[in-house]
Each structure stands twice: as C-alpha cells, then as structure tokens.
C-alpha cells in the first residue's frame, strides 16, 4: 500500500462521516461522532508517529509544523464534541468548527504536502511507509477505546 494512497483513502472516509453526521438525527450523531473520533485518532496517530517524521526535511518542515498544530486543534474540538449531547445545541457549532479545520488541513496535505513528498520519496519508500502505517493503524483499532487517548493529546502538538 502506497502511504499517500492510504492517507488519501482515510481522508475520503472522514469526508463521508462528516456528510453522514450532517444528515443524521440527534441520537445517530452521538454514535457517528464516536466513529469520527476513532478515525481521526487512527489517522493522526499514523501521520504523527510514522508519516510526518519520515518525510521531514527542509522543504516540508514548515508544512509539518502547521500540520501538527492543526491536528492539535482538531483533537481539542473532537474532545469537546465527545463531551456534548447534540440537544445541548452546541454540537452543530463545534462540529462545524471541527469539519472546517479538518477540511482545510486535508486540503493542505493533498495540495501542498503530498506533491512535495512525491518529489523525493520513491514508490518503494512510500510502500514501505504504507505497510508500517497499516500495522500501526490496526494496533490502534485493537485498543479498547481508541478515541480515549484524545484528551491526553490536547496540551501540545505532537513532536516531529
């Protein structure tokens, strides 16, 4: 699996969940928000632990620093979302904030970071990273409560 293809596929899964949550009734929203938090946890974990450190160089450093900051903001919004019940009326406000932040971040990765990475990572390297990320993603999903780590990751951005 090519690392960039794997990450891009997860981006589309996130897009789909955002769309599903917007259409869902209030009870479903709580369930789907939990799935969203899990997917965001898996995705940010494999990017922060494997992809970002592996593609770090002078060209990408600034984009990566922005990225871990944007991940931090998404985790903070996700944490607040999980604490809320939709009927509190805050759910949609925080959901929209989370969605906007994540969509902007995903756009930067796909339009700026990934094309840059393709310039210096050959296919063999991308496939090696993809395999490592698939293994870590499976490990995170096997945890009892994958999204439970979010509140512990909201103080500082992940190290690069």
Binding interface with Fe ion (CB under 5 A)? 7, 47, 109
Q: How far is the CB of 16 from Fe ion (least distance, A)?
A: 15
Closest separation in Å from C-beta 126 to Fe ion: 15
For Fe ion, the closer CB: 7 or 129: 7
**Euclidean distance between CA atoms 67 and 48, whole angstroms:** 9
DSSP for 22-78? HHS-HHHHHHHHHHHHHHHHHHHHHIIIIIHHHT-STTTHHHHHHHHHHHHHHHHHH
Q: Closest separation between CB of residue 86 and Fe ion, Å?
A: 26
Residue 36 or 84 with smaller CB distance to Fe ion: 36
Question: Is the Cβ of residue 7 or residue 158 nearer to Fe ion in the bound state?
Answer: 7
């Amino acid at each position: 699996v090519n690392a960039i293809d794997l990450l891009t596929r997860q981006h589309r899964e996130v897009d789909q969940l955002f769309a599903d949550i917007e259409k869902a009734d209030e009870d479903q929203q709580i369930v789907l928000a939990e799935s969203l938090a899990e997917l965001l946890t898996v995705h940010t974990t494999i990017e922060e632990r494997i992809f970002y450190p592996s593609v770090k160089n002078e060209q990408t450093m600034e984009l990566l620093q922005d990225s871990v900051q944007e991940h931090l903001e998404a985790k903070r919004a996700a944490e607040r979302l999980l604490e809320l019940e939709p009927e509190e009326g805050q759910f949609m406000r925080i959901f929209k904030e989370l969605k906007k932040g994540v969509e902007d971040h995903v756009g930067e990765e796909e339009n700026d970071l990934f094309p840059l990475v393709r310039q210096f990572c050959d296919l063999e390297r991308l496939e090696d990273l993809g395999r490592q990320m698939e293994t870590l993603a499976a490990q995170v999903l096997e945890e009892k409560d994958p999204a439970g780590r979010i509140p512990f990751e909201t103080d500082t951005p992940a190290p690069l």
